[in-house]
Amino acid sequence: MTPVSPGNYLSQAHLERLGADVQRPVYGRATLRPRIVHFGPGAFHRAHQAWFVEKLLADDDRWSICGVSLRSSDVRDALAPQDGLYTLATLDEQISYQVIGALREILVAPQEPENVLNRLSAPTTRVVTITVTEKGYCLDAKGALDTTHTDIQSDLRAPQLPTSLIGYLVEGLRRRRAAGSEPLTLISCDNLTDNGTRLSRAVCQLAELRDPSLARWIEDHASFPRTMVDSITPATTDALRERVKGVLGMEDRWPVQRESFVQWVLEDRLAVGGPDWASAGVIVTDDVAAYDHAKLRLLNGAHSSLAYLGLLAGHETVADAMKDERLCSLVTTMMKEDVRPTLRTPRGLDLDAYIDAILRRFRNPAIRHALAQIAWDGSQKLPFRLLGTIADNLEAGRPIERLCIPVAGWMHFVRRQAARGERVTDPLSERLFEIGGACENRARHDVPAFLGLETVFPASLVREETFRNGLAQAYDELAIEG
């Protein structure tokens, strides 16, 4: 390792000091001009989409990124002194380090809204990508634009000084129309079901409220492909910063880390003139829904199962939980025998190989993926990750006993947190705290209270006696253990 001198930070001027074992940009950065605008330049974007753009830049130096933060200046303040450079640590059986140079500019929207709008409306900008989490879209419970949201109300009052993501997109598109700019591709990379359609609907709804003709123009001149993204990306820690400093021989204010597996599936509905995403390893297909469905039920469903059952068993991380032979066997069998039959195989994906890859990823000891973090927002995740699979198996006459176990595990997780006087991280936190606090650790008393959560458990599923009985049995069995 190279000794670290005081004040020695990663920057363009210091790239030549890096050891040969650290990858660095292979293109000239001085002439890069951003043609991709990205909202939400957090850790996942910098470990995922920016990495794909870095691959693009090796052969095509037109596609650097302007990152836009809608709230905090933290990323800009950390990376601007580093010329936008940061380190990606890939942690697996083999560990590697790469300095990423694709992020050429970082803007903080509340401080420089006009610069953001200029980037969106610039004729050279051809792509907008987004990772702002579900709440950043200002949607209501039905997935439509929430016109009562304070940010949307602000955007309607002062449309040329937007506040929300949707407000910025609509005003940017309005300016593109006025300037006669080329079509634009807007790509939601957040874990929203049918994310492209939801983004399109929200943008067109706000445009309709401003100017119906603008909404029609957007429908004709903007593309909103669906997408699916996947790579486990734990939060940056001080331990990672120290590790990276030891390798680089200099400080990196905000490195990121992820596993070696990385996947981006993009719907083949892109405006002309954009990047050749496929050349960078992006899967461009007309079958995104099947990929998304497989990920949601196999990867995410198994993740939630490990989280709730692993926490009940006293484990802290996914890798720790996978060392529990009984738990590992349960999740493996569930994926292969209970989840896989509900899936349509996406073109180009071997589901058996995909399951094996997921299990290998879960065992990766180099990634410390906290079960407690995966357990967040269970009321929002369970319907898509587990309950849909249960409903499909019931309809097909297949057994559901194993699938009921992680659902019961979530109930016990809520119960135990409430018994400690702690609220779970969840949009229904207060209601769950009330239910958990009233639990008696007996299915007959506890389970009906949870099943009364109509936004979590569909009435059609609650009416199924097989489901109620399977859930009660699993709950009582876990009560004995936990």
Numbered ranges of CATH 1.10.1040.10 in the chain: 289-481
The vertex-57 CA angle with 51 and 62, nearest 5°, equals 120
> Both tokens of residue 259?
């596993």
CB burial readout 450-475, b (16+ within 10 A) else e: bbeeeebbeeebbebeebbebbbebb
d(CA 244, CA 79): 15
Closest CA to 246 of 22, 23, 482, 396: 22
How does pLDDT run along the chain (482 residues), one tens digit per residue?
444 444 699 999 999 999 999 999 999 999 999 999 999 999 999 999 999 999 999 999 999 999 999 999 999 999 999 999 999 999 998 899 999 999 999 999 999 999 999 999 999 999 999 999 888 999 987 889 999 999 999 999 999 999 999 999 999 999 999 999 999 999 999 988 899 999 999 999 999 999 999 999 999 999 999 999 999 998 899 999 999 999 999 999 999 999 999 999 999 999 999 999 999 999 999 999 999 999 999 999 999 999 999 999 999 999 999 999 999 999 999 999 999 999 999 888 899 999 999 999 999 988 888 999 999 999 989 999 999 999 999 999 999 999 999 999 999 999 999 999 999 999 899 999 999 999 999 999 999 999 999 999 999 999 999 999 999 999 999 997 65
Q: Could you tell me which residues are beta bridge partners of residue 251? A: 9
With beta carbons less than 8 A apart as the criterion, state whether 113 and 162 touch.
Answer: yes
Q: What is the DSSP letter of 5?
A: P
CATH class as words, domain 289-481: mainly alpha
Query: Model pTM?
Result: 0.87
The one-letter amino acid code at 166 reads: I
Owner of token pair 């109620």: 468
Q: What is the DSSP letter of 283?
A: E
d(CA 128, CA 466): 47
Q: How far is CA 151 from CA 80, 138, 187, in A?
A: 28, 8, 21
d(CA 442, CA 476): 6
Q: Quick one: three-class SS letters along 19-46?
A: CCCEECCCCCCCCCCEEEEEECCCHHHH
Pairing of strands 86-90, 96-100: antiparallel
> Both tokens of residue 253?
């204010």
Numbered ranges of CATH 3.40.50.720 in the chain: 12-286
Pairing of strands 34-39, 127-130: parallel
Q: Could you tell me which residues are beta bridge partners of residue 263? A: 230
167-218 pLDDT, tens digit per residue, is 999 999 999 999 999 999 999 999 888 999 999 999 999 999 999 999 999 9
- Please provide the size of the chain in residues: 482
The residues, any chain, with a CB within 8 Å of residue 171's CB and separated by 6 or more, are: 117, 120, 155, 159, 160, 162
d(CA 284, CA 271): 13
* CATH dotted code for 12-286: 3.40.50.720
Cβ count near 27 (within 10 Å) = 17
